[in-house]
Chains A and B, each alone.
Chain A
């Protein structure tokens, strides 16, 4: 198996607080990997390290076999590693269609490439992806007007527009109406199978992550506590203890 992403012993400190301590993790090409752990266990920090927001204090991060720990956010994104945020980040004052258009991969190009109108094919692909997440009728609306859940879906669609090889999703179901969660799980799966996007998902909703992920890593206190299939994680006493505070 070829690892698409390999995190090797990554350590990240904020002053005296060790947010990640020697964390190692592999995401295989084509899989859906889960990342769980109690609040403050360092999941989002790890996302920050992988995507270049945080400079790591130790360890290596390999994407497609190439070291990326020294790179900044944008060059990492251009290699095909895109993330979403827990608190969704979209372009508020632009329409949904514009949000999609500027998220296309072509926007990575140099200035000359940018000095062209958005091609019709890109607009169409953006519309298709908006339809995929159920936001097609909102395409001309200002993104900041959407509900939180809709903004989350838009952010997901924008990420797909970028044609990532690996997509890091930070709590995709948080704040989403429970009746819509099944639909979202279905879309995440289809992004994985139909669009060929490998996923690494942080999730607090156990029902969701147990259903979705092929393999799960559990963090606690900044360290990897346990790793395995959803069934193995479910039966791991240490994971339960970490969540319930017995540890």
Chain B
């Protein structure tokens, strides 16, 4: 197990390193002068040049690359171009909002996807199974921003049941949860379908195994067989799927944060790209990359711990 953990950790470091190199290339290649955009039309050329020097943009590209790389590995993302606040502070104050959004999305997807998948598997071939199948594909096919806009129009504008914008009163957990319902639904709804399909397929496989047949032969109640014995095994692939799903939800979070005017990493990066605030872009993207790699690492380690076949494949 230790060798497996070490290998996965090493692979994670390589992934983050490659992501950093790609990020630098994208930042370097994107057109537009950060100083002109940041300082606005009234800034003199001398002011813009001073800002370029402060940002290190006057250096040769390989020096910029080295500075970026070495600073990032030290955890030093520099300061925001204009407010001069440490980038890490700017990123970390937005990160909890996005994590809450993703956690909400996972709650929707797991909370609805697993029961639906189980139900469809138990009712295999029935109308309910077909209905769940159609619904699953339908919610997978609907883009999250469409869900976001319609959820907002129905539940906020028309019914006025839920708030349309913001993340809730700071310090008021109840208000923050209420503000989380629609954005997290938008982020997580598509994954309800994925998980329902995955759980159904996995359950059907497990329900045919000999130990389940044995349990039935012993006369155990069907709900116990389904949820206690079959589901605990059938759910394993879902853990891996959720690891990938977090990355997908991070992408969906950008739309949700813009449509619902929520704070968060997605909106921070979007604004920072538009204003060419590169220290913030690099800091935020690196933090989310590390987060994504960590989530997948944890998912792999959990699977490895539960399934010896995975460990032995490394």
Question: Do these two chains interact?
Answer: no
Residues of A within 8 A of B (CB): none
